[in-house]
Amino acid sequence: MADRAFEYLREAIANRHLSGNGPFTRRSQEWLQREIGCARALLTHSGTAALEMAALLSGVGPGDEVIMPAFTFVSTANAFVLRGATPVFVDIRPDTLNIDETAIAAAITPSTRAIVAVHYGGVACEMDAILDLAARHGLMVIEDAAQALLSAYKGRPLGSFGRLAALSFHETKNVSAGEGGALIVNDPALADRAEIVWEKGTNRNAFFRGQVAKYSWVDVGSSFLPSEITAAFLWSQLETARELTESRLRLWHMYHDRCRDLEAAGLVRRPLVPSECRHNGHLYYLLTPSLDARTHALSWMNDRGVNAVFHYVPLHTSPAGRRYGRHAAPLRITEASSDRLIRLPLWTGLPERDLERVVETAADALRAFMPAG
């Protein structure tokens, strides 16, 4: 795979087209359109940029509200705050750590314009319920599928449910370009405008297709395209995306099997994946019984050379979250899960002996904190 990446990088340079929207960009976009079945896929320089495009295309502005989980990365909220809208944070489910679809209705007000479904760890939100609720209230659904490439819900690819979706190809993702992302457009009515927004608010693409005599500024937009160098590296990963995902899933299942005894002993809770979800093995986490247990375990593991980490600080508890957002009800599951979660090291190619050491070190840490009896 590394050899192919270098080959494509050399080819991109030889093409003398280093700016965005060249042959590797188009090749990658066509792959995404086939895999997800969307009307349009547009590569971006980051998953954050894809979310910002989605927020712009949603039409939200000052006085509007957008419902989302507080247990997510800041980009989910920032994209809408930049448009002047207010994030309304709701609680998550205790099993998947995804937005609690049963809590959304109570957060809807006359100002609500959209719901953002964040697929945590590549595990699907309960999309049937979310789409039904959105349809009844006339709301747009946007998927933050940053972690969810090649995951599915009831056999349908994640990223294909909302009118818009955002993917990430950050170096932490299963398929990576170092930095990168993609906007997925499922609503054909938004496709042409998405392309204009993507091209800095111009109809440049229409010009190159011969649809207009010259291109000019026609709408709001920005510089969202990645370079062809980024797209070339991404293409080398997309070609092997299924193999990368299978490798990640193999490691995920190894963790899940090795941590079974820890769960049986009451030391942790392992991830839960509903039967209707096909996930991509993006991350593996454990939930400890308490914040104190998590603090002890993280310190113990890192002192012994195991880079275990916590994950999101809930957005509603952050300084910017309190300033720019609100929450309609207590977010008890969000706060408790964030306090107790440990992410274990997981990357494609992680040696099995290292995975075994991670689990042994976690077990030692938790048993030291909560000795038997």
CATH number assigned to the domain comprising residue 330? 3.90.1150.10
179 with 134, same domain: the answer is: yes
Q: How many residues does the chain have?
A: 373
Looking at the predicted structure, is the pLDDT value of residue 245 above 60?
yes
For helices 352-369 and 241-258, angle between their N-to-C axes, nearest 10 degrees: 40
Residue that is last in its domain, among 238, 256, 284: 238
Looking at the predicted structure, is the pLDDT value of residue 208 above 70?
yes
204 with 100, same domain: the answer is: yes
154 with 92, same domain: the answer is: yes
Closest CA to 29 of 174, 228, 208, 201: 228
Residue range 49-70: mean pLDDT, rounded: 98
89 with 158, same domain: the answer is: yes
Instruction: Tell me the per-residue pLDDT of 346-366, one tens digit each, with 9 for 90 and over.
Output: 999 999 999 999 999 999 999
Residue that is last in its domain, among 238, 256, 285: 238
Structure token pair of residue 199: 């091209």
How is the beta sheet containing 156-157 ordered, strand by strand? 156-157, 152-153, 277-278
Looking at the predicted structure, is the pLDDT value of residue 373 above 60?
no
AA letter at 265: A
Closest CA to 53 of 80, 26, 89: 80
DSSP 282-317: --EEEE-SSHHHHHHHHHHHHHTT---B--PPPGGG
Q: What is the pLDDT of residue 206?
A: 86
182 with 310, same domain: the answer is: no
- Residues near 285 by Cβ (< 8 Å), separated by ≥ 6? 121, 271, 311, 341, 342, 343, 344
- Domain count for the chain: 2
- CATH code (residue 44): 3.40.640.10
CA angle 123, 154, 37 (to 5 degrees): 90
115 with 245, same domain: the answer is: no
pLDDT band at 252 (very low <50, low <70, confident <90, very high): very high
Structure token pair of residue 182: 């993609």
Q: d(Cα 373, Cα 364) in Å, to the nearest integer? A: 15
326 with 230, same domain: the answer is: no
pLDDT band at 165 (very low <50, low <70, confident <90, very high): very high
323 with 195, same domain: the answer is: no
Domain range for 312 is 241-369
- Residues near 143 by Cβ (< 8 Å), separated by ≥ 6? 116, 117, 118, 119, 158, 159, 161, 162, 164, 165, 166, 184
Quote the mean pLDDT of the chain.
96
Instruction: Tell me the per-residue pLDDT of 281-336, one tens digit each, with 9 for 90 and over.
Output: 999 999 999 999 999 999 999 999 999 999 999 999 999 999 999 998 999 999 99
Q: d(Cα 368, Cα 372) in Å, to the nearest integer? A: 9
Instruction: Tell me the per-residue pLDDT of 120-157, one tens digit each, with 9 for 90 and over.
Output: 999 999 999 999 999 999 999 999 999 999 999 999 99
348 with 276, same domain: the answer is: yes
Structure token pair of residue 366: 């938790």
165 with 148, same domain: the answer is: yes
Residue that is last in its domain, among 183, 212, 238: 238
pLDDT band at 20 (very low <50, low <70, confident <90, very high): confident
Q: d(Cα 213, Cα 188) in Å, to the nearest integer? A: 24
92 with 224, same domain: the answer is: yes
pLDDT band at 372 (very low <50, low <70, confident <90, very high): low
246 with 219, same domain: the answer is: no
Residue range 201-230: mean pLDDT, rounded: 91
pTM of the model: 0.95
